[in-house]
Structure 1
Amino acid sequence: MSTHDDHEDLKASTTPGYKPTAAKTAEEYARLDAEDESLARWKASLGITGGGSAPATGPKVTVLSLELHSDTLPPGKTIVLDLKDGKETVQNTKKEPIVIKEGVEYNVRIHFRVNHSIISGVRYLQVVKRSGIKVDKLEQMLGSYGPSPDEKPYTKNFEPEESPSGMLARSGTYDVKSRVQDDDGEIYADFSWHFKLAKEW
């Protein structure tokens, strides 16, 4: 159950005076300023063409998984939170927290699909707490994307971070709240997961 503090912690930063524009479908963007060459190139980079598009139903974005990647991971080991399985994988981390090696560089990757429309201003928010005290907050923009071609997912790699180290860092479990939302406040994923630090992966 989320609390008022959780909502405040996961509040996205805002730019004073900025107001998001009204959302448009991919088809509306395709028709927009069709004679503008630079805009046509931008639309092509997002996979927007003049042809018809699928009906705009359901969520604009489906978050498929969250992955922790590090060059220090043993060969063949992956750390992936599957968000398609009804969050069962995520819930299991409460009993069996994900193990992250202390003092190593790692980065978060998010895999998602854009079902329809154009997304922009979509961001990933993450708050890490230990014993109820906030120890870290991450906010990363996903960028602008058109509908996923052939339903293939997009992958966004976030900037590398270094995991804490030391006996104090290794004590206890870290509780993470993650959210994917856009500038309009529409939430596409909202989930909690848990990890602990150890001397080895």
Structure 2
Amino acid sequence: MSHHDEDHEVLGPTTTPGYKVGAAKTTDEYAQLDAEDESLARWKASLGIVAGAGGDTSRPKVEVLTMELHSDTMPAGKTIAFDLAQLRDESKDKKTLVIDKAITIKEDVDYNVCIKFRVNHGVISGVRYKQVVKRAGIPVDTLDQMLGSYPPNKEPYTKNFDTDHSPKGMLARSGKYSVTSVVVDDDKEVYAKFEWTFKLEKEWA
């Protein structure tokens, strides 16, 4: 299997044998489902799933705004964040965003990835954040996290993913790691794809 095929398998939609993805529904269609169930209607309304809340259809369905790395071991005031919205505006290739500057992650610490995104129209479900980490072209780690279901909203949503732990040792600190991250749904629609790199050091840079 080629590296390209491996990447597609890891970063593509997650499938379950025997499960068929249903047709995508609009916010109005979701609002009308089981409309006679008052408790369900109140629950959907609390999520913003109400008739007429179609959202801004002039923009992409989902916009991933930022990706951040968080760790309790970071010095006060230290932040690691990628402004994907700005990078998308400046990039000629809108399909795959490339973040040129490598970031530094401290070895042997807990950290987690966090993304902020906006749902402009429709209700999203089955959307996942997936990434593959490579070193010298060889996959060494993967991440597959569910975002959940969200209705359209002018305010961004924030999703913190499970904690990961960085490797340690001289071998781990030698060389850079390349990462490809995607936000993709069960219908194979890719909302964001970006490539970035990091290196491991004894301390946060």
For residue 186 of structure 1, what is the amino acid of its counterpart?
Answer: E
Superposed CA offset, 1:28-74 (max 9, x none)? 21222211134214312421123453353442110001100001111
- Name the TM-score, length of structure 2 as normaliser: 0.88
What residue in structure 1 maps to residue 76 of structure 2?
75
Where in structure 2 are the equivalents of 1:1-201 lying within 5 Å? 3-54=4-55, 56-87=57-88, 91-93=98-100, 96-148=101-153, 151-201=154-204
Supply the distance in 1 between the matched residues of 2:131 and 2:167 (Cα, whole angstroms). 16
What RMSD over aligned residues (CA atoms) do the two structures have, in Å? 2.0
5+ residue gaps in structure 1?
none
Superposed CA offset, 1:139-166 (max 9, x none)? 0000010112xx1100011010111111
For residue 187 of structure 2, what is the amino acid of its counterpart?
Answer: D
5+ residue gaps in structure 2?
92-96
For residue 125 of structure 2, what is the amino acid of its counterpart?
Answer: S
Matched residues, number = 196
In the TM superposition, what is the alpha-carbon distance from 1:92 to its structure 2 partner? 4.5
The percentage of aligned residue pairs carrying the same residue is 63
Does the aligned pair in 1 maintain the 2:180–2:195 contact within 8 Å? yes
- Name the TM-score, length of structure 1 as normaliser: 0.90
Does the aligned pair in 1 maintain the 2:27–2:51 contact within 8 Å? no
**Pair 1:37–1:138, CA change in 2 (3 A):** same
Supply the distance in 2 between the matched residues of 1:99 and 1:180 (Cα, whole angstroms). 23
Give the secondary structure class of the aligned counterpart of 1:39. Answer: helix
